[in-house]
Structure 1
Amino acid sequence: MMVRFIILFLIIFDIAFPPVKAVGSAVFALVAMAPMLYSYNVSQKLFNYVKILQLPLLIVFSVILFSLFITIISTELELTFTLSICKTLIILFSCLLYISVFETNRLSHDLINVFFVNAVICFVAGSVPSLLEFVYIFKPDNSLLSWIPYRNAFLAGSGFFGISTAYGLVFFLICYLIKEEKQPLMFYLKSLTIILAGVIAGRTAMLGLAFGGLLFLLDIKKMIAFLIVIIISIGLFLSIDALSIYSHWVFELINSEGGGTESTNILFSMYDSEFSTSQLLVGDGLYDNYYMNVDAGYLRHLYFGGIFLVILSIFFPIALALSSKNRLFMLFIVPICLLYHFKGAFIFHSRIGMPTLFMLCIIFQQNNARNKS
């Protein structure tokens, strides 16, 4: 069980181990599991999962080939985008091998557990400067600091928006599990910790709670349980001195007179950009260093590869939903992903969000299969 936990932790959080930080821990997890491919049962399961996810896999391969084409015809040879997609493909295969090697009947709870443990790490490291310095050793860029130390105190290859999107997806999973069956008290305690850590990592995570709350509209008892979790989370956040000092930042959207935050105002101003016909058709083939000073996902894809790449990025979460054959995945998780990508480079690029999304696809696919059997 411990081996399974560690492997999943390495895949999801893609820790940047020195001195090869660019490789990421998902690659080490893949290498560690590779010998299991000699097992007929594992290889057969892997083949079956590849068949299930053949459409999203095809899209990822298509994006890699398209990005190489764009790079070749552009004026500058920049492989940042292509390498990022290749990393996503490696993470996807590590996820596929994981679910082929280990039992998946508790995958949802295993996912909750790894996010809970990293939430605890976040609060402990964020409160103890010496431990925070240790955590920074495993970051790809130690310069990404914040006036809120907890935002990047996770033992993970990404912080801020990168990890908050993954926590947002887990928020939805928590709501889904509460809706599906009665959960023990420990589950709710873990959920409270996860919610607090996810929100402090990035307010974007609250999108998962907003969509998750919609699951309870027709179930009053479950809605009450959900609201209790939210109220306790807010109460804990406001009552803990180390966290409450950041309450203005967390609730900026509510407190602001204009109904927006500084972050959202900057984001919407990015979408006022004008594009040439060439940029719309094939982009500029440039992606690194926030080309054109934008970090919004659709804009970054448009500037790199034009409208075709934007279409592929929109269709990718839809392809995952089709693979899962689950109506809730299509109705809720797909919109969450599309909104995340409106904010930042989530689809294809999130080192933590992508493996979390892949695992959710498998969880919902298996739940759908069980419900039909």
Structure 2
Amino acid sequence: MHVIEENQLKNNFRNRGFTLLKLFWMMYILFPFRLKGIAGIQNIFYYGVSFFCVGLFIYKLYHIQINKKYFVNFILFILVFLILMVLTYIIPIKKNTLDFSYLSNYGYFLGRLLIMLGSVVLAKNVFEYIKLLIDSVNLYILFSIVLLIPSFHSFYFNLLVIDANGVSRIQELYSQNYYTRFGLQGYSGFGSTIMCSIVVLLCCYMVVVSVSQHQKVYPYIIKMFLSLFGTVLYGRSGFLISVVIIMVTILYLTLFYGKLDFLLSTIGLMLILTILFVLNADKLQQIDSIRWMFEGFFNYLNYGHFSTASSNELKGMYIHPSFQTFMVGDGLYTVAGLYYMNTDVGFLRPLLFWGIFWEIVYYLLLLPPLIVCRNFLKNVNGNFLMFISILFIVMFEFKGETLLTFSSIFFALMSIILLTGTSYYRKNSRY
């Protein structure tokens, strides 16, 4: 009897160790970083393990009965992505701009798609994979919080290999305004706030699933608020969009599940936080980092309008291209290291590059993974997930390019559904 118990303890210890290893690996591939002295070894390990996992995915896929509809969407996504990537090479040559910066961007995301494809072998089903995504981003946020301690911040910064983007941001990282935009990968800006916002969205979805299945919701609520805090650390636009997604989720739960307590609790919490914020506003805005995080709210209290330096600058970036540019694009993505026409607006950058037709195709790229997720999860609020995903993209694209980052995550969700969907339904009648 003692032998059996001892073996069970050993198995539990191994399982927990393996779970922790998967968690750290997922965090590492979402937020890769390089350390001085071992960067080369890290690269070999990073790409070696990633491509091994891709090979394992292909091997597993070859040995299962594939859902043909899911597989068609999987191939369609890859084909559309590759067509767009080829166009980023052809268009600059045809228009004689020779600006291949957009091609470089697509090359980067091609690598990200492969790495995310390999990551799906870490989970047994789509829900386990969603939980892994949530926990790994939360883990990164916790590390970022620890790195807010000045001594840890300086020590770790000196260990990092700084890329070109990081070099241009060094001065910002040492300023109080941008001090919080720092994590294990160094500078953590718009890309990091997108990831945190995606996790807020996934937490909202899992809250709805948990309510529909009469399961505990508080673990996802806690993780959702931690992710929401991450959006404040790395970028304010993510915070506002995440709040909108949360409010839509609460409204959905109220209308479709009668969860009036969720609505009343949220209203009560918002009132308490608002009162505390207003009462302590003068003290809070004396702290530069907090002043930066909540600049819009402070401006509303002080001047009567909700705005930030970024939003004011963004207003001037909503340019009106010529008819020719609108139709066929100019074949330019960057000029002298800056985005073409100095715009940060997400839906304008591809439009200026290749025109309205390919802009439409570009946004249709997201449809295959969304359709697969919606169809597979139709009995567990798949329509809701699709709705908040589209809402998420629409809002974010008014700020900056989000589609490819978002698509890489949902490509992974589509991939694990393709790999494990049929067997998961057989084993889990609950879903």
Counterpart pick for 2:188 among 156, 159, 165: 159
Mapped partners of 1:230, 1:115: distance in 2: 25
Mapped partners of 1:242, 1:122: distance in 2: 22
- 2:102 matched to 1:81? yes
- Partner of 1:340: helix, strand, or coil? helix
Structure 2 counterpart of 1:170, one-letter code:
V
Task: State the match for 1:315 in structure 2.
Answer: 364
The question of whether the paired residues in 2 share the 8 Å contact of 1:125 and 1:135 is answered with: no
- Partner of 2:333: helix, strand, or coil? coil
Mapped partners of 1:24, 1:154: distance in 2: 22
Mapped partners of 2:103, 2:189: distance in 1: 23
Task: State the match for 1:133 in structure 2.
Answer: 157
Task: State the match for 2:53 in structure 1.
Answer: 33
How far apart are 1:81 and its partner, in Å?
1.0
Counterpart pick for 2:342 among 257, 272, 293: 293
Task: State the match for 2:82 in structure 1.
Answer: 61
Task: State the match for 1:4 in structure 2.
Answer: 22
- 2:242 matched to 1:208? yes
Change (3 A) 1:82 1:130: same
Structure 1 counterpart of 2:292, one-letter code:
W
- Partner of 1:297: helix, strand, or coil? coil
Q: How does 1:1-373 map to 2 (within 5 A)?
A: 1-15=19-33, 27=47, 29-34=49-54, 36=56, 40-44=59-63, 50-100=71-121, 102-104=123-125, 105-128=127-150, 129-134=153-158, 136-137=160-161, 139-142=163-166, 143-144=168-169, 145-146=172-173, 147=175, 148-156=177-185, 159-181=188-210, 182-183=215-216, 187-206=220-239, 207-217=241-251, 218=254, 219-224=259-264, 245-254=288-297, 255-256=299-300, 257-277=304-324, 279-288=325-334, 289=337, 290-325=339-374, 326-348=382-404, 350=405, 353-359=406-412
The question of whether the paired residues in 1 share the 8 Å contact of 2:295 and 2:308 is answered with: yes
How far apart are 1:196 and its partner, in Å?
1.4
Structure 2 counterpart of 1:15, one-letter code:
F
Structure 2 counterpart of 1:122, one-letter code:
S
The question of whether the paired residues in 2 share the 8 Å contact of 1:287 and 1:304 is answered with: yes
Structure 2 counterpart of 1:343, one-letter code:
K
The question of whether the paired residues in 2 share the 8 Å contact of 1:280 and 1:307 is answered with: yes
How far apart are 1:314 and its partner, in Å?
2.4
The question of whether the paired residues in 2 share the 8 Å contact of 1:167 and 1:198 is answered with: yes
Mapped partners of 2:45, 2:184: distance in 1: 11
Structure 1 counterpart of 2:124, one-letter code:
E
How far apart are 1:2 and its partner, in Å?
3.2
Tell me, which stretches of 5 or more residues in structure 2 are unaligned? 1-18, 375-381
Structure 2 counterpart of 1:4, one-letter code:
K
Change (3 A) 1:372 1:32: same
How far apart are 1:65 and its partner, in Å?
2.1
Structure 2 counterpart of 1:86, one-letter code:
G
- Partner of 1:90: helix, strand, or coil? helix
Structure 1 counterpart of 2:322, one-letter code:
F
Q: Provide the aligned C-alpha RMSD in A.
A: 3.9
How far apart are 1:119 and its partner, in Å?
0.5
Instruction: After superposition, give the CA deviation of every residue in 1:299-354 in whole Å (9 maximum; x if it has no partner).
Output: 21122212223212322233432222231233111121122122112222x4xx55
The question of whether the paired residues in 2 share the 8 Å contact of 1:165 and 1:205 is answered with: yes
Percent of pairs with identical residues: 19
Structure 2 counterpart of 1:174, one-letter code:
C
Which is higher, the Rg of structure 1 or of structure 2?
Answer: 2
Mapped partners of 1:85, 1:184: distance in 2: 38
How far apart are 1:63 and its partner, in Å?
0.8
Change (3 A) 1:95 1:130: same
Change (3 A) 1:65 1:35: closer
Structure 2 counterpart of 1:210, one-letter code:
V
The question of whether the paired residues in 2 share the 8 Å contact of 1:122 and 1:155 is answered with: yes
How far apart are 1:172 and its partner, in Å?
1.6
Mapped partners of 1:96, 1:78: distance in 2: 29
What is the TM-score of this pair, normalised by structure 1? 0.81
Mapped partners of 1:158, 1:228: distance in 2: 36
What is the TM-score of this pair, normalised by structure 2? 0.71
Mapped partners of 1:45, 1:3: distance in 2: 27
Which stretch of structure 1 is more off in the superposition, 244-253 or 62-71? Answer: 244-253
Change (3 A) 1:270 1:200: same
- Partner of 1:221: helix, strand, or coil? helix
